[in-house]
Structure 1
């Protein structure tokens, strides 16, 4: 879970940096940067995967379940 959570964080960071590097062209449809970034944002916000992995990691470390 920690690896999956970190992978999403790092991929989102890379996509945001790529958008910044490309400037205005980073938000156009000419390059796939914005599409990748929107896909990653949906993983973080819509699916809640990021938060679920945080809960799993916390339960593993503390032994206390955050959900039932």
Structure 2
């Protein structure tokens, strides 16, 4: 007899759930709000930080590997 392992459980916060709904559902559907200015600014800052990190990584890889 094979014993099944329990599936891992992930606890999601409200912001993650909201973004997931935005990604999966139509933006005009009821219950999905994508117009929060604070969140828009926050996501823009996150994109800028990630873009800077990616550019830094690529620059370092160019030093190591060349063109």
> So what's the TM-score if we normalise by structure 1?
0.38
> So what's the TM-score if we normalise by structure 2?
0.38
Question: Which structure dedicates a bigger proportion of its chain to helix?
Answer: 1
Higher relative contact order (CA 8 A, sep 6+): 1
Highest CA radius of gyration, 1 or 2?
A: 2
